[in-house]
Amino acid sequence: MSIRFLQETKSFRLDTPKATYLFHIHEGNYLIHDYYGATVGEDDLRYLCARGKRNGTYPNSPDVNNREFSPALAPMEYSTNGSGDFRISALQIRDGGGHNSTDLRYVSHKIYKGKPAIPHQPATYATAEEADTLEVFCKDPATGIEITLFYTVFRKADVITRHTMVANNTACAVDLERIASTCLDFVDADYRLLHLDGSWSRECTVEREALTRCIKTVSSKRGYAGHQHNPFVALVRSETTEDQGEAYGISLIYSGNFASETQVDAFYTTRMLMGINPEGFGWRLDVGETFYTPEAVMVYSNEGLGEMSRTYHKLYRHNLCRGPWKTKKRPILINNWEATRFTFDGNKIYSIAEEASKLGIEMMVMDDGWFGTRDDDKHGLGDWYVNEKKLNGPLKDLVDRIHGLGMKFGIWFEPEMVNPLSDLYEAHPDWCLKVDGRTMSTSRNQYVLDMSREDVRDYLLDCMAKIMDSCQIDYIKWDFNRPLTEVGSALLPAERQKEVFHRFVLGLYDLLERLLDRYPNLLLEGCASGGGRYDPAMLYYSPQYWASDETDAMERLPIQFGSSMCYPASSMGAHVSRCPSHHMKRTTPFETRGNVALWGTFGYELDITKLTDEEKELVKVQCEEYHKYFNVIHNGDLYRLIPPYTREEAAWMFVSPDKKEALVTVVVMMTKLHRNRYIKLRGLDPEKNYKDEETGKIYNGKTLMNAGLIFPEYREDFTSFKIHLTEI
């Protein structure tokens, strides 16, 4: 077993292949954290819990004889509010008497093979052969509220997942005010906080900043992660690079408001929390009810950021994504949005599909504008019936014609939203999120439907099912284009209005689950004005996600580099778009746009009927390359060779799991004269010899990784090239 209880020291030991996690039951039944890091021996590490020296400003505990012990100094395994620990709290409960002093003491535990599901929420999954789980049962001595801490260790990966459950077995209702999925205490503060910052069309920019004696928060209160922050953070040492040094990643499997809080105290020790954002959150827990947090996925690496990322990639590909499209090759798609916006009819869609089918593209996706009175973004959203006049007939006729070309067919939905100018809103204004007496905000001319309501979800599923049952829909692009404001539900009483944010997310999961239960072969792609809801929870339902509305190849490079800190290539929606690009008005070579898009799920966002003959030939080549390199990109290991932040060049490579194949891609972002472009490869087998497919040259793996390669001098910005290496 990868989890053991050491009776002599009353310690819990969790071991991954390269890491150890230790905590123990202290006097008074406090749970105290000892260590998390590279694998250690069987030594008693309880001595590491000594933090600072208690004085009169630090309260002691009446249940501990050692007067030097204080909850304000000790590395608490799961911190609570109001009982002597003044640092950021993982748990805060307001009891029936109105008090929010919370305590947590060990009662019992159990260890077993496998991994439990989290009720009504997405989470990683594992068989009894893949993982072991520890459940630690605790209780608040004063109130009797029960808290269970869940830990799962993946035996063959440096992954530990955590989530928390609270059960109210008391005599009256209580209110959860703060509940994190995980709490980590570190013995020092010599770390940098790495997180993914951004905005619309600039998602997942890597930020790295020093910790100071304060609280640093990375969060969202938009109702989803949003473009500004992603629910992933890492603590890294100052010397940590792609290939060496320590990194502690925490990724939250959640699609709502989240918060990662990192605090350095007066003794330069560090605490990090990750979970639901406590701002705007509350949950009334009636007698007999339970509450489960989302799952936090912790990855430790002492081989740099690259190894941390590759661990996440493998885990999310194999133990989070589900269904037939988890490993199946996805079809190359073309989306009409950048080609037509709302101005199209059935004949235009067919003409794009007809030309695309000749070039190797495998699926036509009809985007926004096919339903209701939807000729602009002001009308029709929520009226999910086919506009047959616009499509020149029933949707089935168009779908059958496109299937007749040998192509699959996909369609766009934005189920969670409604236009004020729509039949749905006129009939059911109470179905929207709103606060009585307040004006409802619009964004993109739309309101937000109250997904916490079962009648709303039933309506949406019924509408979508009528479309799906009328013809063969192979793919849905599920969009989400605005944040949540005036977050109130007409069905909930006043004391439960703080639950709406979380109930909205649970409602989304319920609708997605029901849709996929009904159509198990459906391929879903998530979107939220690009990567606004690119989070692990969505990968549980949609194995690919539109990473950004920014499709300019140069702007996409930092987005894709940053996204890859946590998310695998198989999940990253990336397409070749028109040129000059829609947003940047920049002209880039067609080959470079293809090379950048090959990193992800691959497709096109342009009017293919307007391409030149030369460009159409390039489309054929790119489609062939997608199939040729699919396995090494989507199932291989990613190595970020040169980050794009210098604005000179960027490079990355994928290596097949058996190390028999590698694909290196280099993009020249800004040309400089008289400069050798030199790069060392990574991840190859040092004992293998590799052949460069284009030049025929043969290199030893050690040579490529230790001596490297010099590339030719390029005289044009935005050029790119690939090197395909195969074992001989």
Burial class (CB in 10 A: 0-12, 13-18, 19+), 215: middle
15 has a pLDDT exceeding 70: yes
Q: Which of 293, 319, 345 is the last residue of a domain?
A: 319
Could you list the residue range(s) of the whole structural domain that residue 28 is in? 3-319
The pLDDT, as a whole number, for residue 674 is: 55
- Could you tell me the two tokens for 78? 């799961």
- Could you tell me the two tokens for 24? 């123990």
- Could you tell me the two tokens for 656? 């097949």
Does one domain contain both 578 and 691? no
The pLDDT, as a whole number, for residue 594 is: 98
The pLDDT, as a whole number, for residue 144 is: 95
Question: Number of C-alpha atoms within 13 angstroms, CB side, residue 428?
Answer: 18
pTM: 0.97
Does one domain contain both 86 and 13? yes
Burial class (CB in 10 A: 0-12, 13-18, 19+), 429: middle
- Helices then strands, counting H and E runs in the chain, come out as 12, 39
Name the one residue in this structure whose structure tokens are 């940590």.
Answer: 240
Q: Which of 319, 345, 368 is the last residue of a domain?
A: 319
Which residue type occupies 165? Answer: M
249 has a pLDDT exceeding 80: yes
Rounded to whole angstroms, how far apart are CA atoms 216 and 309?
23
The number of distinct structural domains making up the chain is 3
571-599 mean pLDDT: 92
Q: One of 479, 535, 552, 637 is an active-site residue; which one?
A: 479
170 has a pLDDT exceeding 70: yes
The pLDDT, as a whole number, for residue 648 is: 86
384-410 mean pLDDT: 98
CATH of the domain at 202: 2.70.98.60
Are 188 and 213 in contact, with CB atoms under 8 Å apart? no
Rounded to whole angstroms, how far apart are CA atoms 654 and 553?
19
Are 173 and 96 in contact, with CB atoms under 8 Å apart? yes
Residue 673 belongs to a domain: yes
Does one domain contain both 373 and 281? no
108 has a pLDDT exceeding 70: yes
Of 6-15, 59-68, 339-348, minimum mean pLDDT range: 59-68
53 has a pLDDT exceeding 80: no
| Helix, strand and coil in the chain, % to nearest 5 | 20, 30, 45
Does one domain contain both 654 and 573? no
Active site residue 103: no
Does one domain contain both 669 and 615? no
Does one domain contain both 696 and 626? no
Cα torsion at 355, 604, 364, 509 (round to 10°)? 180
CATH of the domain at 510: 3.20.20.70
- Could you tell me the two tokens for 667? 């993009």
Burial class (CB in 10 A: 0-12, 13-18, 19+), 81: buried
| pLDDT band (50, 70, 90) for residue 716 | confident
Q: Residue 8: how many CB atoms within 10 A of its CB? A: 6
> pLDDT digit string (tens) for 645-698?
877 899 999 999 999 999 999 999 988 765 667 899 999 999 999 999 999 999
Does one domain contain both 563 and 695? no
Residue 432 belongs to a domain: yes
The pLDDT, as a whole number, for residue 675 is: 67
Of 368-382, 491-505, 625-639, 708-722, minimum mean pLDDT range: 708-722
Are 250 and 296 in contact, with CB atoms under 8 Å apart? yes
Residue 637 belongs to a domain: no
Active site residue 44: no
Q: Which of 595, 611, 631 is the last residue of a domain?
A: 631
Residue 192 belongs to a domain: yes
Q: One of 132, 185, 549, 552 is an active-site residue; which one?
A: 549
Residue 571 belongs to a domain: yes
| pLDDT band (50, 70, 90) for residue 584 | confident
Rounded to whole angstroms, how far apart are CA atoms 581 and 577?
7
Does one domain contain both 677 and 617? no
CATH of the domain at 687: 2.60.40.1180
Does one domain contain both 10 and 107? yes
> pLDDT digit string (tens) for 398-452?
999 999 999 999 999 999 999 999 999 999 999 999 999 999 999 999 999 999 9
The pLDDT, as a whole number, for residue 673 is: 65
Does one domain contain both 306 and 451? no
| pLDDT band (50, 70, 90) for residue 207 | very high
